[in-house]
Structure 1
Amino acid sequence: MKLFNFLLGSALSIHPFTSDAPTTVDPNKCQNIMITYGAKNKFNKLKFISESSAIVQYDVKYNADAGHDVRVDPYIGFLQFFKGKCGMDFLRAMEDHRVTFSFLDKNEYYSTEGYARFHNNGNWSKSVIQFRALGLPPAAIHQRSQIMGGGGSRPHLGTQRSDRYMLQINGLDQVDWSGVDKLVCIAGGKSASAADDNSGDDFTECALNNN
């Protein structure tokens, strides 16, 4: 019941992926962005499911060696899905927008530009979506040090070692799930992050080639 009330109160923080990713990429762009991947995340968790949509909990892991702190700083986020868990049709549906994604939190903490990209590489095919976390404002009321230490009243979802969001996936009924387990797929994405360069650029190609 608590989670239902939270989601109901956060409806305005939904940002669907609707735009088309560019077909060309600046070859120098990827040299200027360092993408940090977390290990397989045991905290990915299916919360709700219907015929056409699902809500899944995802974490973006904090890494002390990265140039940004996902718990409090603005960052560029990525979420990859793989053929082995999802099949080819889900991956293609991400890019052609039969499947769309929305982010939910306690407030409008995320923004998206609609960037989604598919990479066809046989059994190693994958797709990625990009989003941005806005970060905490510097006001003392947010108690940045307490959030980083795992305490305090958090203005957004997170843990001592990660940023956390609820991902709403829509259009599941538009996918051919033959040969794969839908539930394994939607909870099997891999998160990554990079420092926000404030450009608003599409870095999905960089994320696909980076890992």
Structure 2
Amino acid sequence: MSSKDHKVHDEQASKQKESKKSLKSEAKEPAIETEQPVSSTEEVLIDPRITELEQQLLEAQKREREALLRAKAEVENIRRRTEQDVEKAHKFALERFANELLPVIDNLERAIELVDKEQAELIPMLEGLELTLKSFLATVGKYGIKVVAEKNVPFNPELHQAMTMIDSKEHEPNQVIDVMQKGYTLNGRLLRPAMVIVSKAK
């Protein structure tokens, strides 16, 4: 074999070795996995479910807030009604008892009117009756009882009971001219209307 043939043979052997090394190197390198893109079909299937769940969550939260607000409003209404009931009970707990006291006041006033003021010996009794009546009215006044006995005021059907109507040049129409029996209120609530004489309308 000539030197030229030897040279060609060596070159071929060298190329074969390099080719084998290259194959071995490629075999050793791990394969790089590429991420598979999510198909549009999967996205279409997932998104509506998420949207539906989010909508259900929002609706549930809204219902819960509304229920909480209703519960708070109901509690507030109950508290307010309870306070009003207690206040009314305090104001009008004495109503029946106060009505029983009115005849006593009437009798004291009649007794004072009937005393003969011309008799000196009756003056001490008269003063005692007047003092008793004054003290009695002051005591019941502390509990909200007030007298309705004003004259020359407009007739008020919520406070007055007209016993008769008369012509009067000195009074405006529908004015209280005289009081036949006093009326009374308890904390602004009528216990007994005042019996009055009223001027006629012209």
For the criterion TM > 0.5, the same-fold answer is no
| TM-score normalised by the chain length of structure 2 | 0.24
Identify which of structures 1 and 2 has the higher relative contact order when contacts are C-alpha pairs closer than 8 Å and 6+ apart: 1
- Structure showing greater Rg: 2
Instruction: Compare the two structures and name the one with the higher helix fraction.
Output: 2
Structure with more of its chain in strand, by fraction: 1
TM-score (norm 1): 0.23
